[in-house]
Structure 1
Amino acid sequence: MRTRMKLAAITLDCPDPLALAEFYQQATGFEPHPKSDADFAGLTREDGLLLGFQRVDDYRAPRWPDQTVPQQAHMCFDVPDLDEAEARLLELGAGKPDHQPHDPTRARVLTDPAGHPFCICLDSPRG
């Protein structure tokens, strides 16, 4: 019998956990974790998934696509409308790197306020 694992949490390093949690809370609608503080903040999804943000002294933001400071993690979010999602995320403080390796009608790379790259992908059934 194989042991099945269920993803319970994803945690990102950052300089300001509460600020990054606020960005992702506005972007995703996940609920703030009640025990969030200046050193570790979290958001929870209805199914229990925790998106965490931990303070790191001397944090260095990833340099995407350059790997002098590697991205170390990469998240993708499905969205129903790429243009609408991109505009809203940029308004919330996301950045948009010049390098866009995907078909822009299917996916786009953005960076969160702490520099982590993430993709927004046109929501479609996965095969």
Structure 2
Amino acid sequence: MRSRTSGMWWGTAVEAPDPALLARFYSELLEWPIVHEEPGTVVVAPPQGAVYIVFQEAAGYRRPAWPPVDGEQRAMMHLDFQVADLDGAVAEAVAKGAVLAPDQPQDHVRVLFDPAGHPFCLCRENG
């Protein structure tokens, strides 16, 4: 597999009702620039890496329920970010538009919702 992926970019796609809004949120949160934008699609990537997150417009988008609720849209994936200062990182994310989830299952992790309602986690280093 290494020979097939050597030198390639890799990333993930995230559906959203407003991909530009969500891309700006993650761009500010991660301090990654927006590297591509067209109607319905916006990409953020770190300046020195070969990874990206593409935000794509999704018609009929439904916010995922977290924790999962039977019969509701489930989160199909989530992003985790390791941080040195958990409380400071949570405060910064909330100031940028995230919402702290009411259910917090671990002491060293904070679950938040991005502006489109996707859960993401801030994880304390050496948690």
What's the TM-score, normalizing by structure 2? 0.88
Identity %: 33
Q: Distance in 1 between matches of 2:41 and 2:34?
A: 12
The one of 83, 108, 111 equivalent to 1:109 is 111
| Cα distance change of structure 1 residues 78 and 19 upon mapping to structure 2, 3 Å threshold | same
Match of 2:42? 41
Structure 1 gap segments, 5+ residues each:
none
- Taking only aligned residues, the RMSD between alpha carbons, in angstroms, comes to 1.6
| Cα distance change of structure 1 residues 36 and 92 upon mapping to structure 2, 3 Å threshold | same
Q: What does residue range 6-85 of structure 1 map to in structure 2 within 5 Å?
A: 8-33=10-35, 35-45=36-46, 46-67=48-69, 68-85=72-89
The one of 75, 97, 102 equivalent to 2:101 is 97
What's the TM-score, normalizing by structure 1? 0.88
The size of the alignment, in residue pairs, is: 120
The alpha carbon displacement at 1:7 in A equals: 6.8
* Cα deviation 1:66-104 (Å, max 9, x = unaligned): 24111011110001101100001001110111111111x
1:18·1:37 contact (CA, 8 Å) conserved in 2?
Answer: no
Query: 4+ runs of 1 displaced by more than 6 Å?
Result: none
